[in-house]
Structure formats: structure tokens, C-alpha cells
A and B are shown apart, each in its own frame.
Chain A
Amino acid sequence: MTILHVQGLAKRFGSHEVLSGIDLDVAKGERIAILGASGSGKSTLLRCINFMEMPDAGTVTLDGKVVGRRERELTAVRQRIGMVFQQFNLFPHMTALGNVMEGLRTVRRMPKAEAAARAERELARVGLSDKAAHYPAHLSGGQKQRVAIARALAMDPELLLFDEPTSALDPELVGEVLGVIRALAEEGCTMLLVTHELGFAYHVATRVIFLADGAIHEQGTPDEVLKDPKKERTRAFLARHKEFSL
């Protein structure tokens, strides 16, 4: 069952064309890893799907309904699509629990006790029950990102967007975040994951997309794209990455 349908998505910044007509269907339970060199439009694609960036052309259809451009429709769509950022984007003036409660309280208007209980469950899910009262400044990068994931999960998203969730982390902290994402994958969460962790993409994704010059250059199963790429540019990209992952 297709939950997200993207058609002809295009975006330019000034004279630079970042996305040039992306078509993408995402079925429930799919886990799509998006790869590509920096500047290939990976992040912009994610940000256009939940309208953090306004696409210049194309449509996004969520559950069979085309998303319009009115503020009300955009906020409604963002409530259903969770996003996790490279730099976590936690709210520094709130505790970990406060961060996770915030969407429930302000957007969902959930009563405080109920929101707190829900937030505690989400923090437990990412293994941070003991950090509920901590402010972001007192958490490690990996812990911050896990709080950010809990914050997104609390809203019961139909789709999760991960924008390079481990790129800002020290190497020894990458594992704990990938572990949480892998657990979500096992629970059947639908996700789009922009990443440079090829091994992780290979093991967790159901489909791999290679972006180049703002277009889908090659896509297929992890085995097809990562083990036996058809296109020269995909091969070159993978070769460059493998040099460093001895």
C-alpha cells in the first residue's frame, strides 16, 4: 500500500537546480536509504517531502490526498511525517522529557499527565529513561539524537525522515543511534533515511536510491545497488566510500 507518492518534485536555489523532477512511491513498511554525494539533493528531497522547503514544482500525495500549500495543510502533514535532523535540533530550554512532550502538548493539545506518560514511554523506547530530567546541554551527541528520535516518535508518524542522523556524531556514538533506528525498522516503521553509513543501509533498508544531480540515478534492492550497481556514477561513488571503510 502506497502511503507517500511524490511526483515531479523540483527545487532550485537561485540558478542552481537542486532537484530536477523526482518521482518516488513509498509503501507502508518500506525503508528507503537515500545515498549520494554532497550536493546531490538528498537533504533537499527530504525537506521538500514535509515542506520544510517549498518545492518549486511537483506534488506530494500522502494517503491518496495531494498536499496543498496552505499553512494549515502543511502543519497537518508535518504532524504525520516525523523528521530527525543531522544536528538534532533539540530545544535547549526544555528537558529531554519536555522536548518529547512538546509536540503532544502544543500541537496535539494532549493533557499534561498523559503527554508526560507518553513521553516517558518514548524515552524508554530509545533507552533514555534515566535522562528524562536532563537538559540537552548535559547530554552526549548520541543521547541528543535519541531524544530527537523519541520526540518524532511521540507524534505517531506514518513516515519517518532521517536526515543524516549520525553525521554529526563522534564515531563511538554512531552505534547507539543506528541501534535505535534498526529497532524501529524491525517494528515495521516506514522510513526514508539519508545516510553515509553504507553498511547500515545495506542491512536495514528495503530499497536503496542513489541520487545524482538532483535526480534518481539508480535504485533497487540493497543487493542490486550496493553490491552490483549498473551505473558508472553509482560505482564511482561506492568505490570512493569503500576506500575509507576497510
Chain B
Amino acid sequence: MQWDFASVLANSDALLVGAMGTLRIFAICLVAGLGLGLVVGLGRYSRRRWFYWPATAFVEFFRNTPVLVQILWFYFALPILMPFSISPLAAASLGISLNSAAFSAEIYRAGIQSIERAQWDGARALGMSFLQAMRRIILPQALKRMTPALTNRAIEIFKMSTLASAVAYVELLQQAKLIASLNFNPIEAYTAVAVIFFACLWPMVQLTYFLERRLARDE
């Protein structure tokens, strides 16, 4: 057989559209997933039952169901139950964001718990409220410790974006499928996507290694 990357390069505009789609859903899920994860993580840390139990149920539910199932459920099942339809982007973003929130919530909880009680004492003795102490004293220190783990989550979210192709959202994998079926070149099309992902992710992984080393040096 022969490798024929020309047929892929000829469709580079389609791949570019796909790349934009990938970046878009990655950005949405990164912000929504890690943002919601912080709220859920605070719930997991909270001693208030009305906050702790829903957060815990959320984490358990979304950690123990496959993202792909969640995406398909939001796209195909939710519109049957609700009086509105939902776009592929919305369904995929919901699935990936909620799943990432569940995983990152545990990172936040562990990070917050890793800060010594003395820091809480110092903040509270100044008359800070819980939220002031959290925002000004605890989270800034905890986030520093969490950076490698959160960077890992970001990498996961980037890879999970390909699952959006299951509901025909236009992203890199979806475009590769299209190119492959039109040009009968699945080897080249999927290889190209794999290479693109590797080229984006490998530097990110190096960044986590760097951050881990730096953190280890600081402590």
C-alpha cells in the first residue's frame, strides 16, 4: 500500500475548521468544567449537609458513568424529556464539562484540605469570613499545589473533545471521518488527527512535568 497524505493536505481547510471546533469545545469545557468543579469541590469540603450531599452525589454519578453515554443521553434523550432540542456542541459540552467537574472537584477538595489549619486560624483571627479566608488565603496556596493535577485535567478535556464527534459536532475527529469517507483514506486521515493531537498535547505534558518539578523544589 501507499501513504497518500496529499489527499489529507488537500482537505486541510476542513481540518482547520475541525481544529477550530476542537479549540472551541475545549475552551468551553475547560472553563465550565474546572469552574463548576471548584463549586462542587467546595461542596465536598463543606460541613453543611445541604451542600455536601448534593456535591457528593454529583461526583459519584458523573465519575461512574461514561462520558460518551452522557453526551449521547444529553443529545438524544434530553430533548424527549424537555420541550427543547439541544445542539451537538451543547450536548457534548454538557457531558464533558460535568464529567470534568466531578473529577476536578476531588482535586480541589484535596488541595484545599492540604492547607494547614494554621492558615485558617491566621485568616479567621483577622476577622475574615469563611469566603474571604477561602478566596484570599486558602485557595491561592491550594491552587499552586493543584496546578499539576489541574493541568492533567486540561489534557484529559482536550482529548475528550473527540467524543463530540459521536453527535456529529464539527471537530478534528469528525472532520477526519468525513475526509476518510470521501477520499477512502482512513489511514492518512486518522493518522493526521493523531499527529495533530500529539503535537498539541506533548508540550502540555512537558509543562506538567516542569510544574511538578518546580513545585517539588519550592516545598
Contacts and interface: CB of A to CB of B under 8 A. Distances in A.
Interface of A: 50, 52, 71, 75-80, 82-83, 85, 87, 89-93, 102-103, 106-107, 148, 151-152, 155
Contact of A152 (B123, B125, B130, B144): B125
A193 B128 CA distance: 23
A200 B208 CA distance: 51
Given A71-B130, A93-B141, A78 B125 contact: yes
A152 B125 CA distance: 8
Specify the main secondary structure of chain B where it touches its partner.
helix
A103 B141 contact: no
A103 B137 contact: no
Given A93-B140, A93-B141, A107 B128 contact: yes
Contacts of A85: 118, 121-122, 125
B121 A106 contact: no
B126 interface: yes
Contacts of B118: 85, 87, 89
B219 to A, nearest CB: 11
Given A91-B137, A102-B136, A106-B136, A78 B144 contact: no
B137 A75 contact: no
A78 B126 contact: yes
Interface residues of B, number: 18
A152 B164 CA distance: 54
Interface of B: 118-119, 121-130, 132, 136-137, 140-141, 144
A77 B140 CA distance: 26
Contact of A79 (B121, B127, B144): B127
A21 B136 CA distance: 36
B119 A89 contact: yes
Q: Which of A77, A90, A93 has the most CB of B within 10 A?
A: A93
Given A85-B121, A87-B118, A91-B122, A78 B127 contact: yes
Contacts of A78: 124-127
Nearest to B218: A137
B138 to A, nearest CB: 10
A151 B121 CA distance: 13
A216 to B, nearest CB: 24
A107 B133 CA distance: 10
Contact of A52 (B125, B128, B141): B125
A50 B128 contact: no
A139 B93 CA distance: 48
A103 B133 CA distance: 10
20 contacts: A52-B124, A75-B124, A78-B127, A83-B125, A85-B121, A85-B122, A87-B118, A89-B121, A89-B125, A90-B122, A91-B137, A93-B140, A103-B127, A103-B128, A106-B126, A106-B132, A106-B136, A107-B127, A152-B126, A155-B127
Nearest to A51: B124
B131 to A, nearest CB: 10
B126 A103 contact: yes
